[in-house]
Amino acid sequence: MASERRSQGQGAGALRAIDEPVRGRKSWVSGLLRVARKKPLGTVGAIAIFLFILVAIFANVLSPHDPTNTVPGWRLLPPTLEHPMGGDYLGRDLLSNIIHGARLSLAIGILSVLCGTLTGSSLGILSAYMGGKVDFAIQRVIDTIMAFPTLILAIAIVAFLGPHLINVVFAISITLIPTTSRVLRGAVLSIKENQYIEAAKSIGAGSFRIMGRHVLPNAMAPIIILASIELGAAIIAEASLSFLGLGVPPPASSWGRMLGGESIRFMTVAPWILIFPGMGISIVVLAFNLLGDTVRDVLDPRLRGTR
């Protein structure tokens, strides 16, 4: 009897072990569906971003023509079945350029936000936790950066370093640091007063260990929210720099460059060469903003259940 009970217990335990991952997946999927029902605009934004990422990844496959190929007969060609978005003033297929421009915008946006968020978060956490002279020094640097208008600062950096992918990413990252640093500093000033921080200090944990093991995990929500919102701002910044001729140099396709330069001269005769790149920037930025608002509503406990 005892052996039968043991075997039955082992069998029940094995079934529970099998059911737990399945139950976890079901709860995860049901949670996503619940958020999608409550936040339809965020869902639309997430779908648009997912499609944008797919287009960027498979640009070489989806592009119907070589984006650098110029054909005299395609110059200012209106939209047709073969060229759904027409041709630009150089005789290039506009759809192919917009598809490859999505890859550049995504790469610059993600790299800029990653560098800016990591640097700004580190400075904000260090400033708030250490306090004193460290806090004073870091905040004066942040104040200095914030004294310059964002776009003017990015233009100055790229103009000094030269138009290049790395320089554009560096310039945009610098402009994202102050906001992230200030938000994280405020969050950490609240977190450091909790009892578990005092408990960690009492057992001899060092400052950097406490910041990495206790402060950072509890500050992840604002970091994720800021990153999702700043992606749209980074894409606009890249488009602005390219519009002014300070973005990634040709032959790389850029939505901002399509809106500037010689394209403006043909605005009245061929408006589609400005309309389609402008629509691409607007849709992507709107999608990131919608997703950022939804992420904020889901992760911020003060906003749960208010919308």
Q: pLDDT digits over 262-290, tens only?
A: 788 888 888 888 889 889 888 988 898 88
Between helix 94-130 and helix 132-146 the angle, nearest 10°, is 150
Reported as a single tens digit per residue, the pLDDT across 229-260 is 888 889 889 888 888 888 888 778 888 888 87
Query: In the chain, pLDDT over 90 holds for what percent of residues?
Result: 20
Q: Model-level pTM?
A: 0.80
Confidence class for position 23, pLDDT limits 50, 70, 90: low
- The backbone region for 93, taken as left when phi is positive above 0, alpha when psi lies in -120 to 50, beta otherwise, is beta
> For 87, phi and psi rounded to 5 degrees?
-120, 155
Structure tokens at 269: 């005769």
Structure tokens at 201: 């200090």
Q: Regarding the domain delimited by 39-299, which CATH topology (the fold level of the hierarchy) does it fall under?
A: MetI-like fold (1.10.3720)
Residue given tokens 């110059």 in the structure block: 75
What backbone torsions phi and psi does residue 59 show, to the nearest 5 degrees?
-60, -40
The tokens 């003033």 sit on which residue? 89
